[in-house]
Structure 1
Amino acid sequence: MKVVIAGGGETGAELAEALIKEEHDVVLIEADEKRAEELAEKLDCLVIKGNAAHPHVLGEAGIKDADVLVALTGNDRDNIIISLIAKSIGVKKIIVKIQDPIYNDLLINMGINDIINPGRLVIAQALSMLKGFDILNISTIMRSNIRLLVAKIPSEYDGKKISELPIDKDKAQILLLYRDQEAYFPKNDLVIKSGDSILLAVKANYYDEISKVLKI
């Protein structure tokens, strides 16, 4: 699988390292020249110095042949532009980090559903700590075989209980359910409503299958 990562910050670098270990073809784009040089020395992948929001830089990264694009720069505007360029080119899987959730609906309306809102993940981590477990340490997850997935519940499950979702519980666990601005610990009898989203911890070898189940 070819993955293009835009943004060579800590998260982008750790994601690239994890994917390289899984023998994926990774291309990392970083705007800062010094940081790009450091990453090129550290990582066994192609590192391109440039602004990924520019189409020619994405072209240099081979975006047309990419299976996945992950936009992880520190700028919401750039991440939105990067994801929309990738969408227009036909990249099947696009994951985008957005600091301000106000842009979520815009991206969803454009057919981009894999949205990471760091603020929400911080809330999820705080809630998990209050429950006595710390499973949402991103660095730990990136180095393990577990991936985080935020997905909007398909409309066909509106009105059903969360336990009725066709998820293999040995390979994935629902951590939180988001409804409007609230987050809930998902009990089996919790009734799903249209517009709900869920945060899951998913084993890497189950990621593609559950993505199809949830129609991501």
Structure 2
Amino acid sequence: MKVLIAGAGRLGTQIAQVLSAARNDVTLVERDEDRFTELEGMPYVNLVAGDACEPALLERGGALTCDLVVAVTGRDEDNLVISLLAKRRFGVGRVAARVNDAENAWLFDLQWGVDVAVPAATPLISLIEEATGATDTVALLRLSKAGVEVIETAITQESRAAGHMLGEITLPAGTVVATVVRDGHPTVPSPEVRLLPGDELLLVSHEATEQEIHASFQ
């Protein structure tokens, strides 16, 4: 599946990491220069700098051949413009948009090109299920025929992994950490990263169950 994501904030970055880990072709668009610089070198994701509200930028990002556009900027007006352009100008088959302000939810419909309107508080996994149309998930996100599963877990004060370095955690066979998100920013999951309460981890596994992976951290 070819996906264009507009907005490389915490949510947009997480979506990009999950979908790219599941072997989708992902392009992430961000107009903030500092944020774009932070994300340079992000593995398996095509980064495009610029304003996704501009048709030329969307075309450069591959909107003409996209299966899915996800508009998750922090501005509802931008998400609506991106959705409308994706649907009406580029004929994208499925468009999902984040609703930041609940009072604007009534605008996010097919008239604005939105197939799936997602409230800001929707959990990551549920958002991706809605956006992609996946229906076979049970707390897991299964997005590829290759058997890749992406699992999300969070570190809390009670987690036995809190305070330990990532390299000290014994992971189930066939499992790797895709990223550690801290304070809204993805970090390189090196063995020296010390896990802290509030960290969110995205793991990719070919073999382990959700319960086995959670047991490694909780």
TM bracket, shorter-chain basis: 0.5 to 0.7
Unaligned 5+ segments in structure 2 are 145-218
Higher relative contact order (CA 8 A, sep 6+): 2
Residue identity in the other structure for 1:112: V
**What residue identity is the alignment partner of 1:204?**
R
Aligned residue in 1 for 2:101? 100
Aligned Cα root-mean-square deviation (Å): 2.6
Cα distance, 1:117 vs. partner?
A: 1.2
Look up the SS of the partner of 1:97 in the other structure.
Answer: strand
Compute the TM-score of the two structures, normalised by the length of structure 1.
0.57
8 Å Cα contact 2:53-2:81 kept in structure 1 = yes
Could you tell me the percent identity over the aligned residues? Answer: 32
CA distance in 1, matches of 2:141, 2:34: 34
Contact kept in structure 2, 1:147 and 1:202, CA below 8 Å: no
From the two aligned structures, give the one with the greater helix fraction: 1
Using structure 2 for the length normalisation, give the TM-score: 0.56
Cα offset, 1:7, TM superposition: 0.4
Q: CA deviation at 1:41?
A: 1.3
Deviation at 1:109, TM superposition (A): 4.3
Residue 117 of structure 2 aligns with an amino acid whose one-letter code is: I
Shift of 1:43: 3.0
Q: CA deviation at 1:35?
A: 1.3
Contact 2:80 2:97 in 1 (8 A): yes
Report the equivalent of 1:149: 130
Aligned to 1:91: 92
Specify every segment of 5 or more residues in structure 1 that has no aligned partner in the other structure, as ranges.
122-135, 151-167, 174-200, 207-216
Kept in 2: contact 1:2–1:68 (CA 8 A)? yes
Tell me the secondary structure at the aligned position of residue 102 of structure 1.
helix
Q: Give, as a single letter, the amino acid of the residue that structure 1 aligns with 2:14.
A: E
Question: How far 1:69 sits from its partner (Å)?
Answer: 0.1
Q: Distance in 1 between matches of 2:10 and 2:43?
A: 13
